[in-house]
Amino acid sequence: MDEEVKKDAEEEMNCILELLEEWCLKYDQDYANAVVLVKHNQITSWGSIGNHEDLVCRIKEHP
Given this model, what pLDDT does residue 22 score?
Answer: 78
Question: pLDDT at residue 3 above 70?
Answer: yes
pLDDT band (50, 70, 90) for residue 54: low
Give CA–CA dist 1/18, Å, rounded.
Answer: 24
What's the average model confidence in pLDDT over 12-34? 75
Output b/e per residue, 27-57; b: 16+ Cβ within 10 A. eebeebebebebeeeebbbebbbeeeeeeee
What's the average model confidence in pLDDT over 54-58? 71
Domain ranges for the chain: 3-61
Whole-prediction pTM value? 0.51
Question: pLDDT at residue 7 above 80?
Answer: yes
